[in-house]
């Protein structure tokens, strides 16, 4: 009898120890191990010199796929005489490998920030572009001429500029629609404002070309002539000084831009307005532990503003589950009930009716950014007002092909796949004083659209699996094994004790 009681006491002690072990196992499983994993993730993703993350931040180890789609106009004369709306054929993609490298300027330990400039270089990918070639010629709107005409219109010099246009453009390039070499149109540029004209035309050209020389897409040569191209500005030394959070003191702010050119605001959309605020990331770096309630802001100097992307659902990439974030129909719509009071309504460019007013949904006036009357939309006027689609032929907006999106691994914040897409457009319409355009069909004419896309290469998918998911599986295996073993031990001891007590009562 004494021995039986002794045995039960020993078993009770063992049960208490087993329960304690179960409690410890639960604590390890649901607090200690997750905290350790979280700490490891924080160390891996923050911007600390000497880490792989830092090296990848300084120089992206793989190229961004940069695609350009141009629009060929098949009926230019009919557009000018007003008998037909523009008939467009999309030609592309012309594919380039875009390489990005940052120059670190300084690190502020107290503010937990790092400042840098970045440079982009481009390499034509003939294989990915095949059968298209850079030397291909397309019939397109003459963007430099249209900019000069609209600039001259504001200066009340349109008629005079039209009279002198042959002296402004060489090689018969002074036409509304021209046959242009793709490479020259995108990067190498074509020459204009080579002012050799006498007397009055020389004076008019001097005035207009001096203003044109200050615009983003114009490069001034040694002889004071200009070179126009759509994208050569992206090959210039840098697009400004960025200051971003490193994530050492607050991982949730990792990659967040706190200043551009040492300011919290730009002047593009008005002094101190929400539209001019610098916020978000540069699209390459995101904090870990992303939730479905998260929203991302992406700041782009290409469009001088930020764009918000929101959670859209789940997406799998090469076996890794991610969260899908994207733009929406509201992205390029006025945020106010009164568009006239929207800070993105600059009223600098003239619309299809020749009036300086707010553009309709889906189109933003970019003159404050580019310096010339260029309009920004999503490709093929996705989510834009039907008026713009009705004015041209050949467009087919498709969300899958034309939206901007990001797929991010939520635990580590690793971008798995992302695509930014923008379209540049110009208004064509009759301009008083320009003889060749007196009957022009009114339209918002797409010029080109660009897709910048990144898909995480398999090498880095494997690294993500080995550095994070393999550890998660190991930790899950250990913690659940501890829980199961502890629970079995507690259950077994409990059953044994109950049986011993039952036997002891029976013996009595």
Contact 425, 374 (CB under 8 A): yes
Which residues in 69-83 are b (16+ Cβ under 10 Å) and which e? bbbbbebbeebbeee
Alpha helices in 62-198 (DSSP H): 76-80, 126-129, 143-154, 158-163, 165-168, 182-183
Encoding tokens for residue 292? Answer: 């479905």
Which residue's entry shows tokens 């990915």?
128
Q: What would the DSSP string read from start to end of 374-425? A: -EEESGGGTT--HHHHHTSBS----HHHH--EEEEETTTTEEEEEEEEEEEE
Neighbours of 481 (CB within 10 A): 12
More confidently predicted of 413 and 205? 413
Give the integer Cα–Cα distance in Å for 92 and 281. Answer: 29
Task: Decide if 394 contacts 332 (C-beta within 8 A).
Answer: no
What's the pLDDT at 2? 47
**Closest to 454 measured CA to CA, from 56, 66, 128, 52:** 66
Rounded Cα–Cα distance for residues 404 and 298 (Å): 11
* Ramachandran angles phi, psi of 362, nearest 5°: 90, 0
User: CB–CB of 456/416 below 8 Å?
Assistant: yes
How much is the average pLDDT of 64-82? 96
Q: Which DSSP helix (H) or strand (E) runs through 321?
A: strand 320-326
- Residue where the block lists tokens 């001891």: 493
pLDDT tens digits for 18-57? 666 656 555 555 555 566 666 777 788 889 998 888 999 9
| Torsion angles phi and psi, residue 424, rounded to 5 | -105, 135
User: Locate tokens 């995101």: which residue?
Assistant: 286
pLDDT digits (tens, 9 = 90+) for 467-477: 775 555 555 55
d(CA 401, CA 416): 18
How many C-beta neighbours within 10 Å does residue 21 have? 17
Most confident of the following: 49-58, 134-143, 389-398: 389-398
| Helix or strand (DSSP H, E) at 306 | strand 305-317
Q: Which of these, 145, 97, 98, lies nearest to 118 by C-alpha position?
A: 98
Mean pLDDT of the chain: 84
Question: For the chain, what is the total number of helices (H) and then of strands (E)?
Answer: 15, 18
Question: Which pair of structure tokens corresponds to residue 415?
Answer: 């971008």
pLDDT band of residue 163 (cuts 50, 70, 90) is confident
pLDDT bucket at 1, cuts 50 / 70 / 90: very low
Mean pLDDT of 480-494: 60
Per-residue pLDDT at 107 exceeds 90? yes
| Least trusted range by pLDDT, from 284-298, 385-399, 455-469, 479-493 | 479-493
Answer with the residue of higher pLDDT: 283 or 81: 81
Half-sphere exposure of 445 (CA within 13 A, CB side): 31
Greater model confidence, 353 or 192: 353
Neighbours of 507 (CB within 10 A): 8
pTM of the model as a whole:
0.86
**Spatial CB neighbours of 453, under 8 Å, sequence gap ≥ 6:** 64, 65, 66, 67, 417, 418, 419, 420
Q: Are 129 and 97 in contact (CB under 8 A)?
A: no
């Amino acid at each position: 009898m004494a021995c039986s009681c002794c045995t039960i006491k020993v078993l009770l002690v063992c049960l208490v120890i087993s329960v304690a072990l179960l409690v410890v196992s639960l604590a390890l499983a649901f607090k200690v191990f997750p905290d350790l994993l979280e700490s490891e993730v924080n160390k891996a993703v923050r911007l600390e010199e000497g880490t792989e993350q830092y090296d990848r931040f300084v120089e992206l180890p793989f190229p961004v796929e940069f695609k350009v789609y141009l629009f060929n106009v098949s009926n230019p004369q009919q557009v000018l005489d007003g008998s037909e709306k523009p008939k467009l054929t999309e030609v592309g993609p012309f594919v380039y490998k875009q390489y990005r490298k940052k120059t670190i300027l300084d690190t502020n330990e107290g503010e937990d920030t790092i400042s840098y400039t970045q440079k982009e270089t481009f390499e034509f990918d003939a294989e990915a572009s095949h059968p298209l070639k850079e030397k291909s010629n397309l019939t397109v709107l003459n963007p430099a001429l249209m900019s000069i005409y609209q600039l001259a219109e504001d200066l009340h010099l349109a008629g005079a500029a039209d009279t002198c246009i042959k002296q402004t453009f060489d090689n018969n390039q002074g036409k509304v629609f021209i046959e242009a070499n793709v490479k020259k149109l995108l990067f190498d540029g074509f020459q204009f404002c080579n002012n050799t004209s006498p007397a009055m035309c020389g004076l008019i050209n001097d005035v207009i070309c001096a203003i044109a020389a200050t615009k983003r897409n114009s490069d001034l040569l040694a002889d004071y002539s200009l070179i126009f191209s759509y994208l050569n500005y992206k090959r210039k030394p840098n697009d400004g000084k960025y200051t971003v959070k490193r994530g050492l003191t607050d991982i949730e702010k990792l990659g967040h831009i706190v200043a551009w050119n040492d300011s919290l605001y730009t002047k593009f959309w008005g002094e101190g307005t929400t539209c001019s605020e610098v916020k978000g990331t540069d699209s390459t770096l995101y904090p870990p532990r992303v939730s479905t309630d998260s929203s991302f802001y992406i700041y782009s100097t290409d469009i001088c503003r930020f764009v918000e992307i929101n959670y859209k659902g789940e997406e799998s990439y090469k076996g890794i589950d991610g969260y899908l974030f994207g733009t929406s129909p509201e992205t390029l719509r006025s945020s106010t009930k009164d568009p006239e009071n929207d800070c993105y309504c600059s009223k600098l460019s003239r619309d299809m009716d020749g009036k300086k007013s707010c553009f309709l949904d889906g189109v933003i006036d970019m003159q404050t950014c580019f310096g010339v009357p260029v309009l920004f939309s999503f490709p093929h006027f996705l989510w834009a007002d039907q008026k713009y689609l009705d004015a041209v032929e050949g467009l087919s907006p498709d969300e899958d092909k034309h939206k901007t999106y990001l797929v991010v691994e939520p635990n580590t914040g690793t971008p798995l796949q992302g695509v930014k897409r923008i379209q540049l457009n110009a208004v064509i319409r009759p301009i008083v004083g320009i003889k060749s355009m007196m009957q022009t069909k009114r339209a918002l004419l797409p010029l080109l659209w660009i897709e910048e896309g990144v898909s995480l290469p398999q090498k880095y998918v494997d690294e993500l699996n080995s550095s994070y998911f393999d550890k998660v599986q190991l930790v899950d295996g250990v913690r659940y094994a501890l829980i199961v073993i502890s629970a079995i031990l507690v259950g077994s001891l409990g059953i044994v004790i109950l049986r011993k007590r039952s036997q002891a009562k029976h013996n009595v």
